[in-house]
Amino acid sequence: MNAKTYDFLADYAATLLGCGATCIRIEKNLKRLAAGCGVTAQVQIMPAHVTLSVSDGSGYSRVISRPMARGGINFDVNARLSRLSWAVADGHISADEAIKRFQEITTETGRTGQWQELLLASVANTAFCRLFGGDPASMLLVFAATLVGYRIKQVMIARGRDVRLAFLAASFFSASISAAGHVFHLGGTPEIAVGTSVLYLIPGVPYINAVSDLIDRHYLCAFGRFTDACVLTACLSAGLCAGMYLLGLYDI
């Protein structure tokens, strides 16, 4: 087994960690992929990196460490990498072909369906506004605020900006746009528009993954994911408060 395959396994695990996979999924996918490549692999998952011990059965083993791939949570990449491991394990493709497909998955420019994702996120957040009692004017404001804020988040993450800064900026602009209901006296529920304008930024996946890792006894990763989720929540709260303060909304 050549070094290229070992590096591929390490990069695969680091990419899964970066795109939002749980620890148990990383372990299962990696072991399945390694078996399909004719080796055995043990992985140690930490909050910011993965360490692999790979053996080809001949007494030779190699330890590889990789930092977590940065790029934000991406369910499309997560699912495609999972399918890739099954394709190798079932013998449908060779290890060399898997490496080529992995490079295609990780180097494609732009996220698949990003415009559909943007539109659906805006509609979903508008539905939250209605769920909490917002009137049509507030719903329209929330739709516009989410559309702008989510796009800012997409662009900043795609350009490699820090995800915490992306959350703060998106929250700030969403809050500022939704506050137009108060400034221009639009509709009868402007406070609901402001309150629901940043709900799309709630880091639900990191919170859920933290619980999953905790159940699976990956305590360090669970604590790391929970801490990251709390930091992101603090960033969106700071952006929301900054937008409200800038527009003079002190008594909502």
Indicate if the pLDDT at residue 239 is higher than 50: yes
Please indicate, yes or no, whether residues 213 and 166 belong to a single structural domain of this protein. yes
Residue numbers of the domain that contains 39: 3-107
Task: Specify if 25 maps to a domain.
Answer: yes
Please indicate, yes or no, whether residues 64 and 129 belong to a single structural domain of this protein. no
- Nearest CA to 149 out of 169, 129, 164 is that of 169
Spatial contact of 45 and 23, defined as CB atoms under 8 Å apart: yes
Indicate if the pLDDT at residue 174 is higher than 60: yes
Single residue among 81, 107, 133 that ends a domain in this structure: 107
Spatial contact of 231 and 203, defined as CB atoms under 8 Å apart: no
Please indicate, yes or no, whether residues 14 and 85 belong to a single structural domain of this protein. yes
The number of domains in the chain is: 2
Average pLDDT over residues 179-189: 88
Where does the chain show beta strands of DSSP type E?
40-45, 49-55, 61-67
Cα–Cα distance for residue pair 147/238, rounded to 1 Å: 20
Q: What is the DSSP letter of 46?
A: -
- Nearest CA to 153 out of 134, 172, 130 is that of 172
Average pLDDT over residues 167-175: 96
Please indicate, yes or no, whether residues 118 and 97 belong to a single structural domain of this protein. no
How buried is 161 (Cβ within 10 angstroms: 0-12 exposed, 13-18 middle, 19+ buried)?
Answer: middle
- Nearest CA to 13 out of 33, 37, 39 is that of 33
Single residue among 89, 107, 125 that ends a domain in this structure: 107
Please indicate, yes or no, whether residues 120 and 223 belong to a single structural domain of this protein. yes
Q: Three-state DSSP class for 23?
A: helix
Please indicate, yes or no, whether residues 53 and 146 belong to a single structural domain of this protein. no
The pLDDT value recorded for residue 109 is 47
Please indicate, yes or no, whether residues 22 and 70 belong to a single structural domain of this protein. yes
Please indicate, yes or no, whether residues 202 and 98 belong to a single structural domain of this protein. no
- Tell me the percentage of the chain whose pLDDT exceeds 90: 69
Task: Specify if 223 maps to a domain.
Answer: yes
Task: Specify if 207 maps to a domain.
Answer: yes
Please indicate, yes or no, whether residues 131 and 193 belong to a single structural domain of this protein. yes
- Nearest CA to 174 out of 250, 238, 248 is that of 238
Please indicate, yes or no, whether residues 133 and 70 belong to a single structural domain of this protein. no
pTM of this structure: 0.83
- Nearest CA to 179 out of 119, 246, 133 is that of 246
Please indicate, yes or no, whether residues 182 and 200 belong to a single structural domain of this protein. yes
Task: Specify if 252 maps to a domain.
Answer: no
Mean pLDDT of the chain: 90
Single residue among 60, 79, 107 that ends a domain in this structure: 107
